[in-house]
Amino acid sequence: MRCFGLTMLLLMLASAATADAMTNEKRDAFFRLFRDQIVRCYTLPPGARSAEVRVEIRLAPDGSLPQPPKVLGSPADSEAARAALRAIKRCAPFHIPAAFKSSYGEWKRIQMIFGFD
């Protein structure tokens, strides 16, 4: 079994800071929680070579996907891209604890980089 790593970038969409803005600690906790859910659903493609796939994920407040995830940059039809999209769809809806609900504006759109070698 080969190892892979996932890196996440969170896009802040709120135009101004609010009382519900995430602290760095809370943001890191959200990243870990989200990444851990994806890892459980991800299967490395057979015969996969080193690759990196960037995916945009839009989430509803309940953790569901209001629209399909979208591959950014990389060829969307590559094995690596298909594996990343499958993992996201397989995991949805995502479990979002109540502690993060008030910060929805900060995690409603996520860019995630699936990288493995």
What domains, with CATH codes, occur in the chain?
Answer: 4-13+21-116 (3.30.1150.10)
One digit per residue, the tens of pLDDT, for the chain of length 117 reads 344 455 544 444 443 445 567 888 998 899 889 989 998 998 877 776 677 889 999 999 999 999 999 999 878 778 888 999 999 999 999 999 999 999 998 899 998 888 766
Q: Is the peptide bond before 75 cis (omega within 30 degrees of 0)?
A: no
| The predicted structure's pLDDT at residue 65 | 98
Distance CA 89, CA 110 (A): 14
Q: Tally helices (H) and strands (E) across the chain.
A: 4, 4
Half-sphere exposure (CA, 13 Å, Cβ side) for 60? 8
Cut 0.85: pTM above it: no
